[in-house]
């Protein structure tokens, strides 16, 4: 009886329209925040909030388990416990810290309510870093994915040594980001760099410059290397997607007189939309969080020209010892990424329907 | 017969074992005590391990040095360990004085005042005063820490300018510049000879901060700099604009190495060691680094050129690396005893000789190599943010350093930077 009721409630939530789900999620978030602002010092609140979220997780597991057998629940319990301790608890801890001014060491924390979040809204450098990450993402979405798709299309055909090329194209992603950053730093070097040397050889020495120290080129240079480093993932996923398209569809299109472009537009693209969406979401999430490459190539400079949100979070935490503010930046950044992903998924749903 | 031989052999074996047991060993028997030390100093790993072996042989106390590098990763590890109350018996701390104070107030660092002052302050008297000052909190410190000494300097450092003797000769410069105008002239001659001027790791913004504050102290004197930190003098003051203008001049006159604003110090060190630039701005630790990169490098040490010749030249310096004792350590007294031993003359001489760093023990100074002695001459000009009565706010420091990068790349004028910093300072002061 209880199992049926739980299942019924779960199905109601599961089948709710997307807008209702968003409202429900926002309502839950606002309720949690209001409760948090009022009862932040109460251990009871923390116990209840942590217990509530863990219970929701338990509920989701149980509704699926009831469909099978209760004994299965015990097999899931260890994973559930690990998830609760290592994901839910840290989330609450970060949420708690984001509402405090704390240096990361002192035993006392000062509650500042939404002060850290208000400061983020006024922090010009934070938004500059968001814009820089957006630019890197834009370059990755275009350059990186176009390159990945072109190479995937090439390797999907019957060409010689295609396995060799597959391996070659997948080398950049498996290289350490620090190593890639340092190698490219040398290539871009203003005095002894390979790029300037090559420009000199072809008579274009006027274009030579300190690529990573010039505010006009630093961010683009980093974005290009990020795309070079990351295209292999897109290549592999797109290639796998291309190989799932039945060959008969291409043959049918050819019989109907379709040329290469028409086949690509009317067969490949529609069937690849779910894969494109996946690659785009992964590209956005990966590019917005770019970090190691920046540290090894420019350290965020010159000025703030290559600062990205993660380097700002690190600067708040380590450089300024503002742990609370850094946590608030982390939560804000996470929310922005979630929103971007939701929008992306909404667009993909619409595209699929079309 | 066989039985007799077997008994005789067993007898010899037993006698040998008994004699071995009675024999006097090289050191005392192990006390079973173990001191754990965390550090980030990759260049001193072998020397530390050798000293740990010597200490165990002398006292029977085992000392384990654990290295965590790079320094950023080390800092994170120490903070995480402090939060988890899992710090080792001895550790180093990288950061500003306020971080040091936070660790003390949280009960992570033991006061060494009593040990330092014991036996007529023998330990304290053995160490350089300026190196100790970095680890000391005065009675009226702004952090609210109980007055006392909380760390032991194991070496001394200062940050000065270096010049390549060969490159200067090549450009027709016979003497290292002492004033700003001489420095500008020297760079012009170097440029004419196709040699780059100054190189430094200004991608690590604290190094810009260091040189800028050296110039500021020289131009306006320490009191006015501190008044700025207290919010009494704006950054738009002509003296501050003069400081920013020096960087503008260096950039415009082509006195700086290419790509200096994003260059990390390691790259800058390679640049100078490979004789690509004639001047470098670097700390005394560079002696060991340059020796590793180019043992033939012919260079000298000079103070940053004076802009205001009537005032003193100032450089950052004091304790290079300090070690602290965990107040919650179960072997606290042994840890203090080990640090006392480590800073004794013999061990300091060994560390100085093998790692080419300035020792914190004043009795060792006479045995230094030439370049290190030149660094040691700058000790009278040393100052350090950790001994200043007031420090600038972290956000302002970052904007100050990044702003100078912007001046160097021609993105901002000194006046604009001054105005921006003044506005930011007001905002940050209002928050307090």
Residues B147, B137 contacting (CB under 8 angstroms): yes
Judgement on whether residues A162 and A131 belong to the same structural domain of the protein? yes
Alpha carbon distance B421, B428 (integer Å): 10
Structural domain boundaries, residue B44: 30-157+319-380
State the pLDDT at residue B6: 53
Among all chains, which residue has been given the structure tokens 């978030």? A29
State the pLDDT at residue A54: 79
Q: Under an 8 A CB cutoff, do B398 and A319 touch?
A: yes
Q: Under an 8 A CB cutoff, do A213 and B261 touch?
A: yes
Structural domain boundaries, residue A22: 2-97
Query: Cα distance from A120 to chain B (closest Cα, Å)?
Result: 13
In a domain, A150, yes or no: yes
Mutation for B interface: A302, A315, A317, A324, most B CBs within 10 A: A302
Residues of B in contact with A191 (CB under 8 A): 196, 257-259, 276
Judgement on whether residues B399 and B329 belong to the same structural domain of the protein? no
Judgement on whether residues B132 and B146 belong to the same structural domain of the protein? yes
Judgement on whether residues B230 and B254 belong to the same structural domain of the protein? yes
Judgement on whether residues A125 and A252 belong to the same structural domain of the protein? yes
Judgement on whether residues B44 and B173 belong to the same structural domain of the protein? no
Q: Which residues pair with B299 in a beta bridge?
A: B164
Is the pLDDT at B206 greater than 80? The verdict is yes
Query: Cα distance from A281 to chain B (closest Cα, Å)?
Result: 30
Specify the CATH number for the domain of residue A166: 1.10.3720.10
Neighbour tally for A273: CB within 10 Å: 14
Judgement on whether residues B226 and B312 belong to the same structural domain of the protein? yes
SS3 B29: coil
State the pLDDT at residue B19: 45
Q: Under an 8 A CB cutoff, do A215 and B205 touch?
A: no
Alpha carbon distance A165, A275 (integer Å): 21
Residues of A in contact with B276 (CB under 8 A): 191
Q: Under an 8 A CB cutoff, do B394 and A214 touch?
A: no
Judgement on whether residues B205 and B261 belong to the same structural domain of the protein? yes
In a domain, B5, yes or no: no
Q: What is the pLDDT of residues A153-210, one digit of tens each?
A: 988 877 777 788 888 888 888 899 999 999 999 999 888 889 999 999 999 888 999 9
In a domain, A113, yes or no: no
Neighbour tally for A183: CB within 10 Å: 15
State the pLDDT at residue B380: 83
In a domain, A111, yes or no: no
Query: How many domains is chain B partitioned into structurally?
Result: 2
Residues of B in contact with A193 (CB under 8 A): none
State the pLDDT at residue B18: 46
State the pLDDT at residue A68: 62
Judgement on whether residues A237 and A192 belong to the same structural domain of the protein? yes
Judgement on whether residues A76 and A127 belong to the same structural domain of the protein? no
In a domain, B109, yes or no: yes
SS3 B97: helix
Judgement on whether residues B212 and B301 belong to the same structural domain of the protein? yes
Residues of B in contact with A103 (CB under 8 A): 98-99, 102
Confidence of residue B23 (pLDDT cuts 50, 70, 90): very low
User: Cα–Cα–Cα angle for B329, B335, B340, nearest 5°?
Assistant: 150
Among all chains, which residue has been given the structure tokens 């569809």? A249
DSSP tag of B280: E
Helix (H) and strand (E) counts in chain A: 19, 2
In a domain, B163, yes or no: yes
Judgement on whether residues A142 and A54 belong to the same structural domain of the protein? no
Residue B111 has φ and ψ, to the nearest 5°, of: -75, 135
State the pLDDT at residue B5: 55
Residues of A in contact with B259 (CB under 8 A): 189-191, 210, 212-213
Judgement on whether residues A54 and A149 belong to the same structural domain of the protein? no
State the pLDDT at residue B363: 84
Judgement on whether residues B152 and B164 belong to the same structural domain of the protein? no
Mean pLDDT of chain A: 86
Q: What is the pLDDT of residues A87-101, one digit of tens each?
A: 888 888 898 899 999
State the pLDDT at residue B378: 87
In a domain, A79, yes or no: yes
Task: Out of A106, A189, A297, name the one closest to residue B106 (CB).
Answer: A106
Judgement on whether residues B101 and B197 belong to the same structural domain of the protein? no
This prediction's pTM = 0.83
Task: Out of B258, B276, B403, name the one closest to residue A210 (CB).
Answer: B258
Chain A to chain B Cβ contacts (< 8 Å): 88
Judgement on whether residues A205 and A137 belong to the same structural domain of the protein? yes
Residue of B nearest to A112 (CA): B431
Is the pLDDT at B319 greater than 80? The verdict is no
Q: Under an 8 A CB cutoff, do B102 and A322 touch?
A: no
Q: Under an 8 A CB cutoff, do A106 and B411 touch?
A: no
In a domain, B1, yes or no: no
State the pLDDT at residue B14: 53
Judgement on whether residues A219 and A322 belong to the same structural domain of the protein? yes
Judgement on whether residues B63 and B117 belong to the same structural domain of the protein? yes
Query: Cα distance from B269 to chain A (closest Cα, Å)?
Result: 15
The string of DSSP letters for A85-129 reads: IIIIHHHHHHHHHHTEE--SS-S--EE-TTHHHHHHHH-HHHHHH
Is the pLDDT at B11 greater than 70? The verdict is no
Task: Out of B76, B99, B402, name the one closest to residue A321 (CB).
Answer: B99
Q: Under an 8 A CB cutoff, do B83 and A104 touch?
A: yes
Cα A303 from chain centre: 25
State the pLDDT at residue B420: 97
Residues of A in contact with B265 (CB under 8 A): none
Judgement on whether residues B357 and B414 belong to the same structural domain of the protein? no
Pairing between β-strand B90-91 and β-strand B34-39 as defined by DSSP bridges? parallel
Q: Under an 8 A CB cutoff, do A214 and B409 touch?
A: yes
For residue A261, give every residue at least 6 positions away whose Cβ sits within 8 Å of its Cβ, in sequence order, or none: none
Task: Out of A191, A302, A315, name the one closest to residue B261 (CB).
Answer: A302
Confidence of residue B91 (pLDDT cuts 50, 70, 90): very high
Q: Which residues of A7-39 are buried (b: 16+ CB within 10 A; e: fewer)?
A: eeebeeeeeeeeeeeeeeeeeeeeeeeeebeee
Task: Out of B108, B196, B402, name the one closest to residue A303 (CB).
Answer: B402
Judgement on whether residues A60 and A176 belong to the same structural domain of the protein? no
Residue of B nearest to A208 (CA): B258
Mean pLDDT of chain B: 90
State the pLDDT at residue B65: 95
Q: Under an 8 A CB cutoff, do A298 and B258 touch?
A: no
Residue of A nearest to B71 (CA): A318
In a domain, A267, yes or no: yes
pLDDT in tens, chain A (354 residues): 566 666 677 677 777 777 777 787 788 778 877 877 777 777 777 777 778 777 777 777 777 666 666 666 777 788 888 888 888 888 888 988 999 998 888 878 889 989 999 999 999 999 999 999 999 999 999 999 999 999 999 888 777 777 888 888 888 888 999 999 999 999 998 888 899 999 999 998 889 999 999 999 999 999 999 999 999 999 999 999 999 999 899 999 999 999 989 999 999 999 998 899 889 989 999 999 999 999 999 989 899 999 999 999 999 987 778 899 999 999 999 999 988 888 887 887 777 776
Judgement on whether residues B117 and B199 belong to the same structural domain of the protein? no
Among all chains, which residue has been given the structure tokens 């039945």? A246
Judgement on whether residues A240 and A344 belong to the same structural domain of the protein? yes
In a domain, B14, yes or no: no
Judgement on whether residues A33 and A142 belong to the same structural domain of the protein? no
Q: Under an 8 A CB cutoff, do A191 and B258 touch?
A: yes
| Predicted-assembly ipTM surpassing the 0.85 threshold | no
For the ranges A18-22, A253-257, B38-42, B209-213, the maximum mean pLDDT occurs at: B209-213
Specify the CATH number for the domain of residue B100: 3.40.190.10
């Amino acid at each position: 009886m209880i199992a049926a009721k739980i299942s019924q409630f779960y199905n109601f939530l599961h089948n709710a329209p997307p807008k209702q789900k968003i409202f429900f999620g926002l309502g839950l978030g606002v309720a949690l925040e209001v409760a948090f602002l009022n009862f932040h010092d109460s251990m009871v609140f923390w116990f209840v909030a942590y217990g509530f979220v863990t219970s929701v997780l338990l509920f989701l597991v149980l509704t699926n388990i009831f469909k099978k057998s209760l004994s299965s629940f015990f097999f899931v319990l260890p994973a559930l416990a690990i998830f609760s301790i290592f994901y839910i608890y840290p989330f609450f801890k970060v949420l708690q810290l984001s509402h405090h001014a704390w240096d990361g060491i002192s035993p006392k924390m000062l509650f500042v309510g939404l002060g850290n979040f208000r400061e983020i809204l006024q922090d010009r450098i934070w938004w500059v870093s968001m814009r820089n990450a957006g630019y890197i993402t834009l370059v990755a979405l275009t350059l990186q994915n176009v390159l990945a798709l072109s190479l995937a299309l090439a390797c999907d055909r019957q060409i010689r040594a295609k396995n060799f090329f597959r391996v070659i194209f997948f080398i950049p992603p498996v290289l350490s980001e620090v190593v890639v950053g340092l190698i490219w730093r040398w290539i871009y070097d203003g005095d002894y760099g390979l790029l300037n040397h090559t420009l000199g050889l072809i008579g274009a020495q006027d274009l030579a410059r300190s690529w990573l120290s010039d505010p006009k080129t630093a961010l683009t240079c980093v974005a290009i290397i990020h795309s070079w480093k990351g295209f292999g993932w897109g290549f592999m996923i797109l290639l796998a997607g291309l190989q799932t398209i039945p060959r008969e569809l291409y043959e049918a299109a050819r019989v109907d007189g379709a040329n290469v472009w028409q086949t690509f537009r009317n067969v490949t693209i529609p069937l690849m939309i779910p894969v494109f969406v996946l690659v785009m979401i992964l590209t956005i999430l990966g590019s917005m969080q770019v970090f190691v490459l920046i540290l090894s190539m420019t350290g965020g400079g010159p000025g703030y020209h290559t600062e990205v949100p993660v380097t700002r979070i690190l600067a708040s935490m380590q450089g300024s010892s503002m742990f609370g503010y850094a946590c608030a930046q982390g939560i804000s950044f996470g929310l922005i990424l979630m929103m971007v992903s939701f929008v992306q998924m909404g667009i993909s749903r619409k595209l699929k329907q079309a | 017969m066989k039985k007799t031989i077997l008994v005789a052999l067993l007898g010899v074996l037993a006698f040998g074992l008994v004699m071995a047991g009675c024999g006097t060993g090289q050191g005392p028997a192990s006390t079973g005590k173990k001191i754990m030390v965390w550090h980030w100093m990759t260049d001193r790993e072998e020397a530390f391990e050798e000293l740990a072996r010597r200490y165990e042989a002398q006292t029977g106390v085992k000392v384990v040095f654990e290295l965590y590098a790079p320094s950023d990763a080390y800092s994170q590890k120490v903070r995480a360990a402090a939060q988890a109350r899992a710090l080792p018996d001895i550790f180093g701390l990288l950061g500003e004085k306020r971080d040091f104070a936070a660790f003390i107030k949280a009960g992570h660092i033991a006061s060494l005042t009593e040990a330092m002052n014991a036996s007529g302050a023998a330990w304290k008297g053995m160490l350089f005063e300026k190196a100790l000052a970095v680890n000391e909190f005065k009675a009226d410190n702004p952090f609210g820490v109980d007055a006392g000494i909380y760390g032991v300097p194991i070496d001394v450092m200062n940050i000065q300018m270096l010049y390549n003797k060969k490159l200067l000769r090549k450009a027709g410069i016979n003497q290292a510049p002492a004033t700003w105008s001489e420095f500008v002239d020297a760079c012009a001659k170097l440029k004419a000879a196709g040699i780059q001027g100054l190189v430094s790791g200004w991608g690590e913004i604290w190094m810009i901060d260091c040189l800028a504050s050296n110039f500021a102290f020289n131009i306006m004197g320490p009191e006015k700099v501190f008044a700025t930190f207290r919010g009494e003098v704006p950054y738009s003051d002509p003296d501050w604009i003069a400081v920013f203008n020096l960087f503008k001049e260096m950039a415009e006159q082509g006195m700086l190495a290419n790509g200096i604003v994003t260059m990390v110090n390691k790259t800058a060190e390679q640049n100078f060691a490979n004789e690509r630039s004639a001047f470098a701005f670097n700390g005394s630790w560079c002696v060991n680094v340059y020796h590793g990169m180019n043992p033939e490098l012919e260079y000298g040490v000079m103070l940053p050129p004076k802009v205001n010749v009537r005032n003193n030249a100032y450089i950052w310096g004091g304790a290079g690396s300090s070690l602290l004792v965990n107040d919650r350590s179960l072997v606290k007294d042994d840890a203090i005893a080990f640090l006392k031993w480590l800073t004794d003359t013999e061990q300091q001489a060994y560390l100085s000789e093998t790692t080419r760093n300035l020792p914190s023990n004043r009795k060792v100074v006479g045995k230094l190599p030439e370049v290190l002695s030149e660094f040691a001459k700058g000790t009278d000009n040393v100052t350090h943010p950790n001994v200043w009565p007031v420090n600038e706010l972290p956000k302002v420091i970052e904007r100050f350093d990044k702003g100078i990068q912007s001046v160097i790349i021609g993105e901002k004028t000194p006046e604009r930077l001054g105005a921006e910093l003044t506005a930011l300072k007001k905002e940050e002061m209002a928050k307090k």
